[in-house]
Structure 1
């Protein structure tokens, strides 16, 4: 029996009396265990959910620390919000362009890092493709913004500059750094895979050359429209060729892209420490989505400030588009290529640098032509005579550098010096179609 709050008596539940009688007749230890089992179920459920929540919070904080606070280059991240503030308050195009440019650098580097983390779960071949794809995300986003604003020459020159930067500056710095670290020997790589990429680059040069030659020889059937029609047809063909290249690389001849068997002595240093992923696959995908959105936001302010920055900084738009924008956009490829070259992993270095150039020339440029076609913009493959000749000579120089299957620091130095000549050429170059933007 129990006494109620108003003094009346109530009869207790029969089942509860039986349960209590059983507990009294049992030993103290079993009674304690039974009571804990009855009354502690809710506490255990609450404790389990609390531990799970704490584990998620700790994992989230650790992921933020690794991606945001660990790299020193992320000290440049505040320049992105500063660019947006200057755009609305001061309206100084030079500052907006400069701050946007600096703010995109750590984002491009982090995109490269996240694709490297994702490569641990997808394998080296798919990982290299993802690295090239997200490494080119900055250039693609900037190009689409510029195309939407009708700045066709900025699109053409920025994509051309990205190819030149990857093939000369990024590859040159990687070969030079790797050659200095491995000073006493030539570094070797898979020559067969490099030959396939060189062939694709030459095909891209052919696709860009014919609309240009058609324009400058005045041999078009209908002036001003035939080159656009030819560019759209060639772009569709180049997209089909790139799709075939992906099937060739990932399915039918994937063994061709396996790293070559190097000398045992070369791999002893690499085998001492095995690299493991620092974040999970879901975290890498989530961070890639977040950073891509932030890059797209900053790219909009960057494109809007190009013309004003050219006037305030007294720099040609061609130099800004071909030299400055690609250096920022290729920050991820630059860091990754140098790091792998210093670790004597030349096949991954070539996959990052040459693979990125191949993807831009065979996918991004034709894709922009097709998107411009849908937008009603006359985006074509006529990159003007000076730019097309520069690309053609660059592809030939790099192809000759790679034909032996070995590299050293001197080859890297020559590529860097070639890029300086190209940059100086665009500094003194007057764009004949500057009014297109």
Structure 2
């Protein structure tokens, strides 16, 4: 044998010995494997049992935080108007530190403005999950929730004239300012005469004239001194008329949502066929429960700020030397209708005038046929003598406004000149209330 063959044999012997040792070790491990497996199982099982629920809890917390962050980002940080939200807490802070009622009123106005817009947004999101009928009822309830909340707090403090004038101002601002800006901007941007559903406008105009009738008779009864029971018949007539108006508004909702759907759909369907209607707003951005939670949060926060707003109206009137009537009729409704104002103008500029008309005239119908009678009934429950006698000056202003708007809507078309007319009419109304001294209600029945 040579040297290389001897080395090869020796290496093979060494490899075989190594293989035997490894096999023996493997066999030893196999002999004791049940015990070791049991030991491993007993040592690792409690650790796994402890870590699994903790992992689930951590993942759940992380998902919840992500969901809350996404919801806040969508609702709070998606609109530039929400930059005004910090003014609400600032108003409370200013009242605690300085007691300056003028500044508190101003800051409360600014703080409520984005909340009113977000309240409408949450209502629209919830309407995606409830369907057309319930969605219409939600819009009727929350569409003017800001004005109603302010009115309830004013009633609580016995400020019936503020309630009457703020609700009247909401109707005037929607019919003249909001609708006028929609017609004006739509006519300028689209460079044509826009068309809207005439049937809807006629029905809403009829309801507004019915509301004027409900407000006119108690005022005429008061100023002609023809009451059967002096000081009581006017209030009884107001409460009866309010119940009738609420019944009429309920019938109108049923008529609009159930009975005559075909009356309100042709122009929308035509837009879909022409490809003019986009699907940007056809899907909800937040879930149903998120909508309900945000609706509750916004309503509660508006309620808190409304109390500060109502308590500082008279102080702001003295500080700014502005009549309470002007603040109630002009300033308060502009805040409550800021969101509706913006959305009506936006839809008119997209040549969706039916939606703009529904926002402006529909909101006026809600206030006149639901909001005003509702406050009379709430005042009745509270023991406050809230009636439909809005005084002669305010009733005449509403009557003339409804007539002007009804005449402009009868053709079923709009242009920028009609919008300019409505805006100028609102300026006349605003100037009139700036120089109007509200009669004292202390000796009304003397």
Q: TM-score range by the shorter chain?
A: 0.7 to 0.9
Partner of 1:95: 103
Secondary structure class of the residue paired with 2:267: coil
Gaps of 5+ in 2: 1-29
Are 2:177 and 1:175 aligned?
Answer: no
Partner of 1:359: 366
Are 2:267 and 1:257 aligned?
Answer: no
Partner of 1:214: 221
Are 2:397 and 1:390 aligned?
Answer: yes
Contact preservation (8 Å) 1:150, 1:377 = yes
Are 2:78 and 1:70 aligned?
Answer: yes
Structure 1 residue 112, shift from structure 2 partner = 2.0
1:359-378 aligned within 5 A: 359-378=366-385
Gaps of 5+ in 1: 1-16, 25-31
Are 2:138 and 1:112 aligned?
Answer: no
CA distance in 1, matches of 2:407, 2:170: 20
Structure 1 residue 110, shift from structure 2 partner = 1.2
CA distance in 2, matches of 1:316, 1:106: 25
Cα RMSD, aligned residues only: 2.8
Query: Relative to 1, partners in 2 of residues 1:214 and 1:339: Cα closer, same or farther, differing over 3 Å?
Result: same
| Aligned mate of 1:191, from 188, 198, 207 | 198
Secondary structure class of the residue paired with 2:155: helix
1:8-27 aligned within 5 A: 21=34
Partner of 1:246: 253
Contact preservation (8 Å) 1:235, 1:370 = yes
CA distance in 1, matches of 2:382, 2:122: 32
CA distance in 1, matches of 2:32, 2:254: 71
Partner of 1:411: 418
Are 2:435 and 1:428 aligned?
Answer: yes
CA distance in 2, matches of 1:242, 1:211: 20
| Aligned mate of 1:293, from 288, 300, 304 | 300
Partner of 1:6: none
Contact preservation (8 Å) 1:125, 1:257 = no
Contact preservation (8 Å) 1:80, 1:102 = yes
Secondary structure class of the residue paired with 1:81: helix
**Structure 1 residues 283-313: Cα deviation after superposition (integer angstroms, max 9, x where no partner):** 1111011011000000001000011111110
Query: Relative to 1, partners in 2 of residues 1:346 and 1:126: Cα closer, same or farther, differing over 3 Å?
Result: farther
Q: Report the more deviating stretch, 343-352 or 250-259.
A: 250-259
Larger radius of gyration: 2
**Structure 1 residues 293-343: Cα deviation after superposition (integer angstroms, max 9, x where no partner):** 000000001000011111110000100000000000111211221222222
Equivalences, count? 412
Partner of 2:16: none
Query: Relative to 1, partners in 2 of residues 1:213 and 1:118: Cα closer, same or farther, differing over 3 Å?
Result: same
Structure 1 residue 230, shift from structure 2 partner = 0.7
Query: Relative to 1, partners in 2 of residues 1:217 and 1:38: Cα closer, same or farther, differing over 3 Å?
Result: same
Structure 1 residue 273, shift from structure 2 partner = 5.3
Contact preservation (8 Å) 2:180, 2:422 = yes
CA distance in 2, matches of 1:344, 1:84: 42
Query: Relative to 1, partners in 2 of residues 1:40 and 1:113: Cα closer, same or farther, differing over 3 Å?
Result: same
Structure 1 residue 431, shift from structure 2 partner = 1.0
Query: Relative to 1, partners in 2 of residues 1:434 and 1:309: Cα closer, same or farther, differing over 3 Å?
Result: farther
**Structure 1 residues 354-413: Cα deviation after superposition (integer angstroms, max 9, x where no partner):** 111111111111111111112211111000111001101111111111111121222111
Q: Report the more deviating stretch, 131-140 or 228-237.
A: 131-140
Structure 1 residue 73, shift from structure 2 partner = 1.4
Contact preservation (8 Å) 2:325, 2:434 = yes
Structure 1 residue 42, shift from structure 2 partner = 6.8
Q: Report the more deviating stretch, 121-130 or 144-153.
A: 121-130
